[in-house]
């Protein structure tokens, strides 16, 4: 019992609590059964995103950074690409501007968020990106 108490004390003193946002998330329209996109947030405030826009044959990839201030997360895209999956051609588009959203719920498994001027959405934590 004494070892457990010391381990817990060391854990809290060293600040070893990991932000639940850090990791890879599945964007889903069916409660996490399937994923149309993946977002990965790192401890160094980098974010990567890739997937297929729902209802289209357009794939997307984005790399950038993010900041978090309380319940607000802002994404700052640095590089992004949209590709027609049928032709493999890159699709020209306007660069995505900074986008912010409000965290409604954040746990080790679920990220519910509300983008500005859009409906609330939910992402589900996964261990790692699938090999696709």
DSSP assignment of 72-103, as one string? Answer: EEEEEEEEEEEEETTT-PBPP-PPPPPEEEEE
Matching residue, tokens 């900074």: 98
Domain 19-126 has CATH 1.10.760.10: no
pLDDT digits (tens, 9 = 90+) for 54-102: 999 999 999 999 999 999 999 999 999 999 999 999 998 887 889 999 9
Separation of alpha carbons 96 and 77, rounded Å: 7
Dihedral of alpha carbons 18, 116, 49, 98, sign: negative
Residue 38 has pLDDT above 70, yes or no: yes
User: Residue 12: pLDDT band by 50, 70, 90 thresholds?
Assistant: very low
pTM of the model: 0.81
């Amino acid at each position: 019992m004494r070892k457990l108490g010391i381990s817990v004390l060391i854990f809290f003193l060293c600040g070893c609590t990991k932000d639940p946002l850090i990791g890879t998330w599945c964007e889903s329209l069916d409660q996490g059964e399937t994923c149309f996109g993946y977002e990965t947030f790192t401890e160094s405030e980098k974010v990567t995103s890739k997937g297929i826009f729902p209802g289209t044959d357009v794939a997307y990839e984005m790399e950038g950074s993010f900041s978090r201030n309380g319940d607000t997360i802002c994404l700052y895209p640095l590089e992004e690409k949209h590709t027609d999956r049928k032709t493999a051609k890159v699709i020209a588009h306007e660069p995505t501007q900074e986008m912010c959203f409000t965290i409604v719920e954040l746990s080790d498994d679920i990220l519910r968020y509300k983008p500005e001027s859009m409906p609330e959405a939910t992402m589900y934590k996964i261990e790692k990106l699938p090999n696709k």
